[in-house]
Structure 1
Amino acid sequence: MAIRAPYRSLRGISAVAALLAIGAVGCSDVTDAVDSAKDSAKKVARQRSVFSLDVGDCYNPNGKAEGTAYTVEIVPCDEAHEGQVVGEFAIDDEGKEYPGDDGVSTIADTRCPVEAQKYAPDTWALPKGVGLFYYTPTKESWATGDRAVSCTYTAENGTFSGSLDTAKSLKPEQATYLKGSNAVYDALWTNQPEKETVEEDLAGYKAQAKAVAAALDAHVKGLDGIEGTEVGKLRATLTKAAGNWQKAADAADVDAFYIAYDPAFTDIDPNMSVAARKELGLATTVPADEAEVWAG
């Protein structure tokens, strides 16, 4: 399996070998060597094949460079670790042939965000610096029947502690809010046209606007059943936003699209939802990458 993450061939050292290597040294050195050997032995005992990863597993990759991986160190989630498996799925192998590295990555790019949100719906609550990575089949493992993709949240630098499994602890109103909110931004980014300007692809941008408008309509309906002053204010804002996204979707020309798009985009600024999130008891810090987009 391959991952946008580390690889290093596994090389363990037993406690006996470590002790034989220290020679005639002081007691403190011996103690340090024993402790080091114990740590090494523990790490070896925790090694698991990437083919047997399960959702919920917390782990440390064996290395720091992106490439092919065969094993990872499984650790208790309350210990500091670099990643956690938050979703998994099998690639449809109807065509039988390996889709290619880019093809497999495209599938994972599409499916992993969906699977991850089932496990950790509130992306605002993720530890700082954690990103979505995945283990996927290689051409060689595909030939042996490997079709599994393991989706992980992995720290790009450093470690984090605790499980990211928050779905089970959500209250009904929190889950409803997150389902609707996530769908809105998924519609925005997954339907992003390849062309950089509306002039180059008006039809593509109108299709995106249609998808966002539909997601907003569903989100607003979900919010209808949730009480709260700030939630009510957000509902009103998003209702207006949905109308403008629909106007953009129906635009007869580029100028009409821009007139509707500017307020439509502004009204789904994540900062608009901070007060409602606080009222619902959800995370209130806008992720840096999202804040940057709406900062201009």
Structure 2
Amino acid sequence: MTVRVPHRSLRGLSAVAALLAIGAVGCSEVSDAVDSTKDTAKKAARQQSVFSLDIGDCYNPNGKAEGTAFAVEVVPCTEAHVGQVVGEFAIDKGQEYPGDDEISAIADTRCPVEAQKYAPDTWALPKGAALFYYTPTKESWLTGDRAVSCTYTAEKGKFSGSLNTAKSFKPEQITYLEGSNAVYEALWANQPEKDTVEDDLAGYKAQAKAVAAALDAHVKGLAGIEGAEVGKLRSTLTKAAGDWKNAADAADADAFYIAYDPAFTGIDPNKSVAARKELGLATTVPADEAEVWAG
């Protein structure tokens, strides 16, 4: 399997379990060597094939997070670790290997959805946690490997504790999170390939249509949640939905730009902080999202 993350080079990782030998050294050095050997033996005993990873498993990769991996060190989630498996699914693409690009595209689409079932509030994730995924390689595909394991991985350092929070939320919190997550998923999953509207007006309009539909569903869900701040957010998103619909119906690039500016501003995550606080959810906008809307 290969661990993949969008827009990154993924090469050069191998899993090797090393054994240390103790030579004729001083007492303190012997003690240090014994401790080191115990740690190595413990790590070796925890090695598990990437093919057998399950949802909920916390692990440390044997090297960098990215690249080709054969085994990882599975550890208790109470210990510091680099990643946790938060979702999985099988690729149904027949006998022929579909290629790296298509498998990555499938994982890009499915993993955010699967991960949000396990950890619905992405704002509450540990700082620096990013969504990675293990996918079949061309070689493992020939052996029947079709599994994709979605993981949250610390881009720097480690984190402790399980990310499994799905059962800890109240119904109104889940309703909010599902609607909000769907809006941003519609935005990012439908990114046009071209950099400018002039080069792909149809693509940008399709994206706008998807976001508008997700906003309509989100606004409908918010109607059943009490709270002054939730009500204010619902009004804001209702207007934003109208702006996205205008963008989707734009006759030309100029009309699209006119509609897009208030549409994009209307879903600025900062506008939802007060409602999130009222609902008892995390209120710190993730750094990557804050950067996007900061311009």
TM-score range, shorter chain: over 0.9
TM-score (norm 1): 0.94
Q: Provide the rounded CA distance (Å) in 2 between the counterparts of 1:24 and 1:187.
A: 62
1:239-254 mapped onto 2 (5 Å cutoff) = 239-254=238-253
Q: Which shows bigger deviation, 265-274 or 64-73?
A: 64-73
Give the aligned partner of residue 110 of structure 1: 109
Give the aligned partner of residue 158 of structure 2: 159
Q: Give the deviation of 1:66 after TM superposition.
A: 3.0
1:178-193 mapped onto 2 (5 Å cutoff) = 178-193=177-192
Q: Provide the rounded CA distance (Å) in 1 between the counterparts of 2:170 and 2:23.
A: 56
Give the aligned partner of residue 32 of structure 2: 32
Q: Provide the rounded CA distance (Å) in 2 between the counterparts of 1:105 and 1:192.
A: 15
Query: Residues 34-65 of structure 1: CA distance to partner in whole angstroms, max 9, x if unpaired?
Result: 22111111111111000100000000000126
Q: Provide the rounded CA distance (Å) in 2 between the counterparts of 1:12 and 1:256.
A: 62
TM-score (norm 2): 0.94
1:227-246 mapped onto 2 (5 Å cutoff) = 227-246=226-245
Q: How many residues align?
A: 289
Give the aligned partner of residue 79 of structure 1: 79
Is this contact kept in 1: 2:15–2:72, CA < 8 A?
no
Q: Give the deviation of 1:278 after TM superposition.
A: 0.9
Give the aligned partner of residue 147 of structure 1: 146
1:90-109 mapped onto 2 (5 Å cutoff) = 90-94=90-94, 96-109=95-108
2:9 matched to 1:3? no
Is this contact kept in 2: 1:8–1:62, CA < 8 A?
yes
Equivalent residue of 1:262, what SS?
A: helix
Give the aligned partner of residue 51 of structure 1: 51
Q: Provide the rounded CA distance (Å) in 1 between the counterparts of 2:203 and 2:226.
A: 37
Q: Provide the rounded CA distance (Å) in 2 between the counterparts of 1:116 and 1:140.
A: 26
Query: Residues 103-149 of structure 1: CA distance to partner in whole angstroms, max 9, x if unpaired?
Result: 22222112111111111111111111111111111111111111111
Unpaired runs of 5+ residues, structure 2, are 5-9
Query: Residues 79-122 of structure 1: CA distance to partner in whole angstroms, max 9, x if unpaired?
Result: 1000000111111032x101122222222112111111111111
Q: Give the deviation of 1:7 after TM superposition.
A: 2.6
The structure with more radius of gyration: 1
Q: Provide the rounded CA distance (Å) in 2 between the counterparts of 1:3 and 1:258.
A: 38
Q: Provide the rounded CA distance (Å) in 2 between the counterparts of 1:276 and 1:170.
A: 15
1:254-293 mapped onto 2 (5 Å cutoff) = 254-293=253-292
Give the aligned partner of residue 221 of structure 1: 220
Q: Give the deviation of 1:24 after TM superposition.
A: 4.0
Is this contact kept in 2: 1:244–1:260, CA < 8 A?
yes
Is this contact kept in 2: 1:270–1:290, CA < 8 A?
yes
- Cα 1:34–1:165 shift into 2, 3 Å: same
Q: Which shows bigger deviation, 254-263 or 265-274?
A: 254-263
- Cα 1:65–1:186 shift into 2, 3 Å: closer
Is this contact kept in 2: 1:50–1:72, CA < 8 A?
yes
Equivalent residue of 2:59, what SS?
A: strand
Query: Residues 241-276 of structure 1: CA distance to partner in whole angstroms, max 9, x if unpaired?
Result: 111111111222222222221111111000000111
2:18 matched to 1:12? yes
2:175 matched to 1:169? no
Equivalent residue of 1:48, what SS?
A: strand
Equivalent residue of 1:22, what SS?
A: coil
Q: Provide the rounded CA distance (Å) in 2 between the counterparts of 1:207 and 1:38.
A: 57
Equivalent residue of 2:226, what SS?
A: coil
Percent identity (aligned):
80
2:195 matched to 1:196? yes
